[in-house]
Amino acid sequence: MKPFAQHLLIGAVAALLTTTTAGAQEYPTRPIRLIVGFAAGGGNDIIARVFGQKLSESLGQPVIVENKPGGGAIVATDYVAKSAPDGYTLLLSASGISINPALYDKLPYDAVNDFFAVSQIASFPLIMIVSASSPIKSVAEFVAYAKANPDKTNYGSSSASFQLVTELFKQKTGAPMQVISYKSANESVLAVISGQITTTIADAGPVVQQIKSGTARALAVATAKRIDDLPDVPTLKEAGADVEAVLWNGILVPKGTPPAIVKKLEGEFMRIAKLPDVIARLKPLGIETIGSSSEDFAKVVSSEIARWGAVAKAANFKIQQ
């Protein structure tokens, strides 16, 4: 390459780097939209509003939470995948983004290749319960009851995520039971308490207070270790079922978003997740803040896709389109 051409190339690269850095430093210059694939008022929406408010305070621009429910968050996920990759449209993704590829033959987006992972920001412990009036007092007793009464044993599920976790429990224990669908986790919990169904595995939000008030009995938690709110409740592994699962939330942006902006957002969400007032606001709802790196979150999404794909295949579980 001639010296003059080299000079032009070096100058062009330097100009590009300067422009990219300047763009990241100036970002954001207008409101940011945080898209949530679920209705207002639920756990996902609460997390979005808590984190969104803190993000707005630090970046000096409004963060507008937009709820786009529908299709197990497929509507919202597809919307963000097709949005401009400029850092102004973010997705508050639930763990369903790693589960849906196992359930649908065709999705309008690619969960890995259409997004950049920014940060995993929260997780939900899952708890297996029965009614307080049930004679079942342990996971071992539950499995024995289910095997002796396969036609009487069922479980409630309000989403594919909860259903796949319970299907994993069935695979690991051999406990036969049929699924009964509900519109929300709260409805499935109330159905257990009233004796309409045998059990449900649900997130801590609608469960912990029912356990503490004595209307529901916790058999086990699906986490790797016992949770602070229920220190006397064993993990499923401790109870003899080799099952560990949590639901989570994280921030994704469209593929093509400038790396400097992704890095800036990553740092912000990691910082917000560690704020004492954010932790105090979400902990009573059974939500643990995480604040992972972009790289670690990308690994979570990919590994969960492989894991739940295997569970769905073993259960022969597909959603008809």
Give the CA count within 13 Å in the CB-facing half-sphere of 170. Answer: 24
**133-154 per-position pLDDT tens digit:** 999 999 999 999 999 999 999 9
CB 169 within 8 A of CB 201: yes
- Which one, of 311, 2, 7, lies nearest residue 160 by Cα? 311
The answer to which of 60-64, 168-172, 183-187, 298-302 has the lowest mean pLDDT is 183-187
pLDDT at position 29:
97
pLDDT at position 21:
52
**Residue 319 to residues 95, 162, 312, Cα–Cα distance (Å):** 17, 14, 10
Whether the per-residue pLDDT at 288 is higher than 60: the answer is yes
Q: Which two tokens stand for residue 142?
A: 């539950």
Whether the per-residue pLDDT at 4 is higher than 50: the answer is no
**190-220 per-position pLDDT tens digit:** 999 999 999 999 988 888 889 999 999 999 9
Asked if the domains at 16-22+29-123+247-315 and 125-221 fall in one CATH topology, the answer is: yes
CB 52 within 8 A of CB 34: yes
CATH classification for the domain delimited by 16-22+29-123+247-315, as one of 3.40.190.150, 3.30.470.20, 3.30.830.10, 3.40.50.300 = 3.40.190.150
pTM here is: 0.81
The answer to which of 35-39, 90-94, 171-175, 275-279 has the lowest mean pLDDT is 35-39
- Provide mean pLDDT across the span 291-309: 96
Mean of per-residue pLDDT scores for the chain: 91
Instruction: List, in sequence order, every residue forming a beta bridge with 33; answer none if it has no partner.
Output: 64, 89
pLDDT at position 257:
98
pLDDT at position 105:
86
Sorted by where each begins, the domain ranges of the chain are 16-22+29-123+247-315, 125-221
pLDDT at position 203:
87
pLDDT at position 6:
54
pLDDT at position 24:
62
Neighbours of 75 (CB within 10 A): 14
- Which one, of 223, 51, 215, lies nearest residue 126 by Cα? 223
CA 83 – CA 79 distance, rounded (Å): 6
- Provide mean pLDDT across the span 289-304: 97
**236-265 per-position pLDDT tens digit:** 999 999 999 989 999 999 999 999 999 999
pLDDT at position 25:
72
- Per-residue pLDDT band at 159 (split at 50, 70, 90): confident
**99-121 per-position pLDDT tens digit:** 999 888 899 999 999 999 999 99
Whether the per-residue pLDDT at 228 is higher than 80: the answer is yes
Whether the per-residue pLDDT at 221 is higher than 80: the answer is yes
Q: Which CATH architecture has domain 125-221?
A: 3-Layer(aba) Sandwich (3.40)
- Structure-derived torsion over alpha carbons of residues 59, 64, 65, 69, reported in degrees to the nearest 10: -140
